[in-house]
Structure formats: structure tokens, C-alpha cells
Structure 1
Amino acid sequence: MARRRYHPETHHSHRTGWLRAAVLGANDGIVSTASLLLGVAAADAGRDALMIAGVAALVAGAMSMAAGEYVSVSSQADTEAADLRRERAELDAHPIHEHQELAAIYIQRGLSPTLANQVARQLMAHDALGAHARDELGITQTLSARPVQAALTSAAAFAVGAALPLTAAALAPAPLLLPMVSVTSLVVLTALGALGARAGGAPMAHAALRVAFWGALAMALTAGIGRLFGAAL
């Protein structure tokens, strides 16, 4: 009888932290900067004013993304740390109750009471806090909050994303500035949506269309407002 070969499975949950920050940062960089450029250009501003506005948007947006991600993820990290301190104190004060609590979780997941107690006992002997953090609190090393990583990833991704429409605006002839910035941004947004979906193991077509639709809507609205106020002034 031939031996069945083992094929390791590929999962993508370990990428959740940096992938979310990178995709969000790049998407915001492209959409916000392209929209701003289109709005300013539609108001008949000169190229110098356009480029100053674009560079300011890149720097301000990258810093805003970094600060926002750091504060948000730090709050998550503080909550996780507080939960772990509380769980450590419970383990020290009431080890029997904590064993019963962990075993009850495994019983709810389908194990028999005997096996659940055995599993809980062995896991707590190996790493009691880790077992409770993972199975009771839902905190794992893979998905735990990393504020600095999220901040740096978001800032870098935003800057890279914002640089694309800014470069298109700098290189485009004046009569073609609006269409070149729009098309370049939409193409990159579509590719970004597909790439992010592939990295996360999700369907690419739906993600690409979703990102392109909202990006096009944001750029169209901003360009319309710029045209309206430019005509009024």
C-alpha cells in the first residue's frame, strides 16, 4: 500500500497585521493624493501650486497614517496587555478554577470531558498563560498588536501610494494632466486591490473592482468640487 504523502497547507492569517496596514496606507495615499491633485487642477491652479499641494498631502498624509495607526494599535496592545496581566493573576490565585475554565472551552468545541481535562492539564503544564491567552482571550503571537510595525508600514505605504499620482502630475503635459492622473491612479488602485487580495488568499477580481470603484468615486467628487469652486472664483 502506497504511503500517502503529506502536503503542508498554506495559510495567510500571519500576514493580517502588516497586510492590512500596507493596503490601507497605499490605498489612502493614492486616493487622497490623486483626488487632491484633480480637485486643485480642476480649479485651474498652476503646476507649481499643484505640486506644492501634492507634496504637502504626501507628507501630511504619511504622518497622519503613522500617528493614527500607532495610537489605534497601541490601544489594542494596551488592552491585550491588561487582559494578560489579569489572566496571569487569576492563574496564580485560582489555578484549579482556571483549569476548569479552559477544559470547559474544549468541551464546547467538541472534546469529551475526560479528554478536555487532559488537554487543559497538559497545555497548562507547558504554558498556562499562553493556553489561556490563545483559547480564552483570542490573543496569539501571530495576530497580536504591533504598534510600531503598523505605524511604519502605513506611513511607508501611504508615501509610496501618494508618490504615484504625484509623479504622473509632474510628468503629464498640462492638457493631459487630469486624464493621466486619473487613469494612472485607477490602474494602480486596481492592481493594488488584486495584489492585496492575492497576498491574503482572497478572490482578486472582486477586491480590485471594489477598490477601483471607490477610488473613482472619490476622484470624481473632488474634481467636481474643484471645478465648481474654480468657476465661482
Structure 2
Amino acid sequence: MAAAAALNDVQISIPEGQTESKQRQQPDFDYSQRAQWLRAAVLGANDGLVSVASLMMGVGGVNKDVKAMILTGFAGLVAGACSMAIGEFVSVYSQLDIEVAQMKREKRRGMGDNEVVVVQETQKEKLPNPVQAALASALAFSLGAIVPLLAAAFIHDHKVRMGVVVAAVSLALVVFGGVGAVLGRTPVVKSCARVLIGGCMAMAITFGLTKLIGIGGLEM
């Protein structure tokens, strides 16, 4: 009887140990670590998509020529990608300067040599890269801007072209919003709706104001 009781105790304790081991081996992932690069990527793609599409819709409101829309969109792509890259480079470089200055201040506090080395090595691994951030931002903007350009490039009928651009951009906005929500583990429907409504409002406002100016007598 004593041996059987001991055996039962062993059989019960093994699953508990395995459960604790699995829990230790599978810690919860900190999704806040993705926040910085995810914000830059989603912002860049959405900015390229919405700004270039809005420019093309505005021009399309007063000019039916497909070449005018494509040239406007391409100019917006190049100008926007350069602007995003420069802005991200300057912003991240400023952040880098602040963090390096903080490292120097910590070194002057009189910490031991070994402690200083450990702290500096750890901080250097986390320092932002301005060039990488600039390239990523420009690439994300360009990827978003390509969508309306491709949607309008092969359609000759003006009304159909405008409708296809709106449809393609709306679909891309939903996709970008959904991808950002999934990667960040945030509500998908809310994220998609927010991005879609904002993008459609930007296109509608640009189209309406440009059309109003065109009706007022300005010809292209």
C-alpha cells in the first residue's frame, strides 16, 4: 500500500512539473517591441497610398488625360519618398544624439569600469539606425504610392479609371490596416475602419476642392 501511494504521488507530480516547464519555455511576447518599426512602416505605406491617390484624384477631377494623372502620381511618389526619408533620417538622428549624450552622462557619474562597459555595450545594441530608418520609410511610402499608379495606368476611360483607383486604394487601406493590427495584436475591424475612413475622406476632400477650383475657371 505504501509503495502504491508513493507511485501515485510520482505520477501526479510529473505533469505539474511539465506544465511549469512549458510555461517557462513559452513566455508571453512583448508586442510593444514592434511598436516603433510597425508605426513607421504603416505610417509610410498609408501616407504614400493616401497622398498619391489624393493627388491623382484631384488632378482627375479637372483633367481627363491619363498622362496628367500618372505624371502627378509619379511626382508625388518621388517627392514623398524623399521627404519621408529625409524626415525620418533627421528625426532618428536626433534620437541617436540624445541617447549617445545620455550614455556619456552615465559614464561621468563615476560608475566602475566594468559596469560602464556592460551598460555601454547593452545600449549600443539598442541605438537607432538613421540610415536604416530612412530607407525603410522611403520604401514603405513607395510601396503604398505604387497602388494608385498601377490602378490608373492601364485604363483609358476616365470614369472607370477614377472608380478603379478609389476601389484599389480602399482595398489597400483595409489590407494595410489589417496587417498592422495583426502584427500589433490590436482590434482588426477598428484599425481597418479607421484607416479606410481617413483615406476616403482625404481623397474626397482633395477631389472636391480641386473640382471646385476647376469649376471656378482655372483650366489645365
Quickly name the TM-score band, shorter chain normalised.
0.7 to 0.9
Shift of 1:220: 0.5
Shift of 1:141: 4.3
Q: Describe the superposition over 1:162-190 as per-residue Cα deviations: whole angstroms up to 9, x where unpaired.
A: 00011111123322122111111111111
Instruction: Say which of 205, 219, 224 aligns to 2:189.
Output: 205
Contact 1:30 1:158 in 2 (8 A): yes
The one-letter code of the counterpart of 2:106 is: E
- Cα distance in 2 for partners of 1:39, 1:205 equals 29
**2:205 is the counterpart of 1:214:** no
**2:165 is the counterpart of 1:181:** yes
- Cα distance in 1 for partners of 2:87, 2:66 equals 31
Residues 1:25 and 1:9: Cα distance change in structure 2 (over 3 Å): same
* Structure 2 match to 1:77: 96
SS at match of 2:27: coil
Shift of 1:15: 2.4
Residues 1:66 and 1:91: Cα distance change in structure 2 (over 3 Å): same
Residues 1:141 and 1:15: Cα distance change in structure 2 (over 3 Å): farther
- Cα distance in 2 for partners of 1:125, 1:24 equals 37
Contact 2:64 2:158 in 1 (8 A): no
Contact 1:29 1:159 in 2 (8 A): yes
- Cα distance in 1 for partners of 2:192, 2:110 equals 47
Shift of 1:125: 8.7
**2:113 is the counterpart of 1:90:** no
Shift of 1:44: 2.1
- Cα distance in 2 for partners of 1:47, 1:125 equals 62
Moved more, 8-17 or 196-205: 8-17
Shift of 1:45: 4.3
Which has the higher Rg, Structure 1 or Structure 2?
A: 2
* Structure 2 match to 1:170: 153
* Structure 2 match to 1:127: 118
Contact 1:17 1:145 in 2 (8 A): no
Shift of 1:130: 6.5
Shift of 1:11: 2.5
SS at match of 1:63: helix
- Cα distance in 1 for partners of 2:86, 2:135 equals 9
- Cα distance in 2 for partners of 1:37, 1:206 equals 27
Residues 1:49 and 1:11: Cα distance change in structure 2 (over 3 Å): same
Calculate percent identity across the aligned residue pairs: 41
Structure with greater contact order relative to length (CA < 8 Å, sep ≥ 6): 1
Q: Describe the superposition over 1:106-164 as per-residue Cα deviations: whole angstroms up to 9, x where unpaired.
A: xxxxxxxxxxxxxxxxx949834578x6xxxxxx845x422112111110010010000
- Cα distance in 2 for partners of 1:189, 1:59 equals 20
* Structure 2 match to 1:18: 37
TM-score (norm 2): 0.81
Residues 1:14 and 1:149: Cα distance change in structure 2 (over 3 Å): farther
* Unaligned stretches of 5+ residues in structure 2: 1-12
Contact 2:58 2:210 in 1 (8 A): yes
Residues 1:151 and 1:49: Cα distance change in structure 2 (over 3 Å): same
Q: How many residues align?
A: 196
Contact 1:18 1:149 in 2 (8 A): no
**2:54 is the counterpart of 1:32:** no
* Structure 1 match to 2:68: 49
